[in-house]
Structure 1
């Protein structure tokens, strides 16, 4: 049993990796503390530093970069970058955390950047990059949810363990993960700030979430308005007296949403409250997704 658990854990551990990206860690530690912890703080020519090709964050706001560059011109880079020796090119360094500062430093025309050199392997580099991104205040809800999903799927972290390590409630993680069950069109609306995460979560149980999302933006609907509209649609009410379906209770809808988040697939629960019987329908889009479902069920 212990051997199986060890396979799911990185060598340094999630909490140890997170300590490497605490904003004030390098500033608070004196030279002797830095040597004792194995940190190497140095100035590195900016042309010898290059981004991690597997960096999970791809979009950088140009206006925010220019604002950061202006701050760097006046105050310098307060928090060092975290880098590792580039595994593919001798004498070069690969960014583990701090690509945004590196990009802004180039705009500010700095010749060198302060950096902590760490010997991370590829898995640790990816995990630190994801954690740094998730901890950023300017992430949109979809980027945050994708960060949690990567940590759970690639490194085998459970929602409970991850919520403890990240200082987030389990319900917060579950709510963020539910956003990834929405159609791409709605996720784009959340990324662009047209819908809040609360508005988007209310769309998860809607029969036609895209149409309702467009209506919500057009009419300026509140979260409660969307919930009511989604509930009306789920009840099967139609124009022209078509046969309606019985409304699902809140517990059933919540359980469907939890299963969708856990399996990354559309899940429908049909429950008969009188007999207590029912069925669960899981929809997969291809054989690869079916294989992924079987792996999750076997692992459970």
Structure 2
């Protein structure tokens, strides 16, 4: 996408200048250059993958914008139902602008209607700039899976520009016990610690996680303990793998989330089938 170099008239905040979006004839306006949009007309995207922003980074951004203004325009889309612009990229810049009570901010308006594509773009942008926490990545991965129920885990990882290592950590996040996941959410369990914890289960896993979180055990010590007790080969969590076979189609899941996705896929095929014969044909083509 190309940003137009000339900053006038596109960047002039003229009160009488026609707004590009809220017209009856244009449900999804798009501009390939930046222009000033009133801050009150822009809202945050609730599906934004970054769940929290620390006070220090935000304060630094506020001071930078106070001195130099916003150097990189926000990326927004027009939502005809809300009659507002929704941020795709630039949530922190918008927060800083609101902190400074700026009346308008520079933004580029793009056509974006596919939720999965919008969300994937947000995840990739956040990962490129500062990186998301493992908890944020896991929740983003889960949200993308809900938006693309027919996609494989590898396809979801690729759509979010995640390498195999990141995807492995995310998978580990979903198979550990809920109390362990809470410690990960609090930033008390490193990624490699989570990786080794996922090879265990039950009370042993929870106790090891608490020991790491409280500083009573290092990740290396956890690794050695897991190798000694469980072995070097990855161990499946309690409950193992669930396989559903129906009319020649096989649905396999290794977690409750995976099982839910498989059942959702089956429900969609059942909804689209007009008879048992059509359902069997759909399943064979799965």
- Please state which band the TM-score falls in when normalised by the shorter chain: 0.5 to 0.7
Q: What is the root-mean-square deviation in Å for CA atoms of aligned residues?
A: 3.7
Alignment counterpart, residue 217 of structure 1, candidates 192, 203, 213: 213
Equivalent position to 1:109, from 94, 101, 105: 101
Match of 1:171 among 157, 165, 172: 165
Q: Is the 8 A contact 1:206 1:231 kept in 2?
A: no
- State the alpha-carbon separation in 1 of the partners of residues 262 and 124 from structure 2: 29
Deviates more, 1:126-135 or 1:38-47: 126-135
Query: What TM-score, normalized by structure 2, do the two folds share?
Result: 0.67
Q: Quote the residue 1:230 is aligned against.
A: 226
d(CA) in 2 for partners of 1:226 and 1:294? 40
- 2: CA distance, partners of 1:56 / 1:43: 25
Equivalent pairs, count: 236
Once the two structures are superposed, what CA deviation does each residue of 1:119-138 show, in whole Å capped at 9, x if it has no partner?
21152433333333444424
- Paired with 2:181 and 2:56, the residues of 1 have a C-alpha distance of 23
**What corresponds to 2:24 in structure 1?**
none
CA deviation profile, 1:246-269 (whole Å, cap 9, x unmatched): xx651x53xx4xxx7xxxx95269
State yes or no: 1:40 paired with 2:13. Answer: no
Residue 49 to residue 282, structure 1, CA distance change in 2 (3 Å):
closer
Q: Name 1:30's counterpart in structure 2.
A: 5
SS in 2 for 1:267: coil
2:132 aligns with 139
More helix by share: 1
What residue ranges of structure 1 are gaps of 5+ in the alignment?
Answer: 1-19, 235-247, 270-279
Give 1:125's aligned residue: 118
Deviates more, 1:208-217 or 1:48-57: 48-57
